[in-house]
A and B are shown apart, each in its own frame.
Chain A
Amino acid sequence: MTRATVAIVDYGSGNLRSAAKAFERAIHEAGLDLNVEVTDNPDTVAAAERIVLPGVGAFADCMRGLTALPGMIGTLEQAVMKEAKPFLGICVGMQLLASVGREHGDHNGLGWIAGEVVPIQPADPSLKIPHMGWNTLALDRADHQLLDGLENGDHVYFVHSYQFKPEAAHHVLAHTDYGGTVAALIGRDNIAGTQFHPEKSQQAGLQFIHNFLTWRP
Chain B
Amino acid sequence: MLKTRIIPCLDVDDGRVVKGVNFVDLVDAGDPVAQARIYDEAGADELCFLDITASSDNRETIFDVVAKTADECFMPLTVGGGVRTLDDIRKLLLAGADKVSIMTAAVKNPDFVREAAEKFGSQCIVVAVDAKSVSGNVGAGDERFEVFTHGGRTPTGIDAVQYAEQVTACGAGEILLTSMDRDGTKKGFNIPLTRAISDAVSVPVVASGGVGNLDHLVEGVTEGHASAVLAASIFHFGEHTIREAKEHMKQAGIPVRLD
* Chain B residues, CB < 8 A from A205: 74
Q: In residues 97-120 of chain B, which contact A (Cβ within 8 Å)? A: 97-98, 120
**How long is the Cα–Cα vector from A57 to B1 in the complex, in angstroms?**
24
* Chain A residues, CB < 8 A from B2: 127, 131, 133-135, 158, 178
In contact, B40 and A202 (Cβ under 8 angstroms):
yes
Q: In residues 51-80 of chain A, which contact B (Cβ within 8 Å)? A: 56-58, 61
Residue interface bits B28-41, CB-to-A below 8 A is 1, else 0: 00000000000010
Name the distance in Å between A183's Cβ and chain B's nearest Cβ: 15
The bracket for how many chain B residues form the interface is: 20 to 34
In contact, B122 and A15 (Cβ under 8 angstroms):
no
A135, closest chain B residue (CB)? B2
Q: A129 interface residue, CB < 8 Å from B? A: yes
Q: A216 interface residue, CB < 8 Å from B? A: no
In contact, A128 and B203 (Cβ under 8 angstroms):
yes
Residue interface bits B221-234, CB-to-A below 8 A is 1, else 0: 00000011000000
* Chain B residues, CB < 8 A from A159: 76, 98, 123, 173
Q: In residues 47-75 of chain B, which contact A (Cβ within 8 Å)? A: 67, 70-72, 74-75
**How long is the Cα–Cα vector from A50 to B210 in the complex, in angstroms?**
48
* Chain B residues, CB < 8 A from A56: 120-121, 123-124
**How long is the Cα–Cα vector from A32 to B2 in the complex, in angstroms?**
34
Name the distance in Å between A145's Cβ and chain B's nearest Cβ: 21
Instruction: Indicate the member of A17, A61, A132, A155 with the most B CB atoms within 10 Å.
Output: A132
In contact, B227 and A130 (Cβ under 8 angstroms):
no
In contact, A135 and B259 (Cβ under 8 angstroms):
no
Name the distance in Å between B51's Cβ and chain A's nearest Cβ: 18
In contact, B74 and A129 (Cβ under 8 angstroms):
no
A16, closest chain B residue (CB)? B94
In contact, A160 and B123 (Cβ under 8 angstroms):
yes
* Chain A residues, CB < 8 A from B123: 56-57, 130, 132, 159-161
Instruction: Indicate the member of A18, A130, A153, A205 with the most B CB atoms within 10 Å.
Output: A18
Interface size on A (CB < 8 Å)? 38
Name the distance in Å between B65's Cβ and chain A's nearest Cβ: 14
Select which of A132, A157, A178 is within 8 A of B227 by beta carbon: A132
* Chain A residues, CB < 8 A from B11: none
**How long is the Cα–Cα vector from A155 to B4 in the complex, in angstroms?**
12
In contact, B227 and A134 (Cβ under 8 angstroms):
no
Q: In residues 155-208 of chain A, which contact B (Cβ within 8 Å)? A: 155, 157-161, 177-178, 197, 199-202, 205-206
Q: A43 interface residue, CB < 8 Å from B? A: no
Name the distance in Å between A173's Cβ and chain B's nearest Cβ: 20
Q: B5 interface residue, CB < 8 Å from A? A: yes
Select which of B97, B121, B227 is within 8 A of A133 by beta carbon: B227
In contact, B3 and A21 (Cβ under 8 angstroms):
no
Q: A121 interface residue, CB < 8 Å from B? A: no
Instruction: Indicate the member of A129, A160, A178, A200 with the most B CB atoms within 10 Å.
Output: A200
* Chain B residues, CB < 8 A from A17: 67, 70-71, 94-96
- A-binding residues in B (CB < 8 A): 1-5, 40, 45, 67, 70-72, 74-76, 93-98, 120-124, 173-174, 202-204, 227-228, 257, 259
Q: Would you list 13 pairs from A and B whose C-beta atoms are within 8 A, ordered by A residue?
A: A15-B97, A15-B98, A18-B70, A57-B121, A127-B2, A128-B202, A130-B203, A133-B3, A133-B204, A134-B5, A159-B98, A161-B123, A178-B2
A130-B123, A133-B204, A200-B76 provided; 5 other pairs, C-beta below 8 A? A15-B93, A15-B98, A133-B227, A136-B1, A159-B173
